[in-house]
Amino acid sequence: QVQLVESGGGLVQPGNSLRLSCAVSAFSLDDHGIGWFRQAPGKEREGVAYLSWSDGNTGYSDSVKGRFIISRDNTKNTVYLQMNSLKPEDTAVYYCAADLLTKFINAIITGQPGDLHYWGKGTLVTVSS
């Protein structure tokens, strides 16, 4: 029912910015949570930024707080991740994921993003000089 397609990844120098997009194909996301996750080489997948579609509430991991901003465009059914002051350690494949809000929250709290039902294929972000 829900399809997610990420775009915007690429090579960027440390300190620069990049904006990722997640196009959502769904009739309604009013009862869903959606967010960005990333997986660096040799590391497990981790949450980055989250958004509750119905009320717009957001949350961020400590590693990106103050640097990244998640937002939505309701008319385009698109979620964005504005990444500023990028660091080499931000290098990873970034995924957009979503699920019913209750399940989304539970997956975040338990640290099991793999439990989320809907995933995009990912977009690679490489931060290097």
The whole-number pLDDT of residue 1 equals 79
At 29-48, the pLDDT tens digits run 899 999 999 999 999 999 99
pLDDT of res. 77: 92
Q: What separation in angstroms does the CA of 45 have from each of 39, 59, 77?
A: 4, 17, 25
Estimate to the nearest angstrom the gap between the alpha carbon of 43 and the chain centroid: 17
pLDDT tens-place values along the chain, 129 residues long: 789 999 999 999 999 999 999 999 987 889 999 999 999 999 999 999 999 999 999 999 999 999 999 999 988 999 999 999 999 999 999 999 999 999 999 999 999 999 999 999 999 999 999
Q: In 3-state terms, what secondary structure has residue 128? A: coil
87 CB-near residues (< 8 Å, 6+ apart): 14, 127
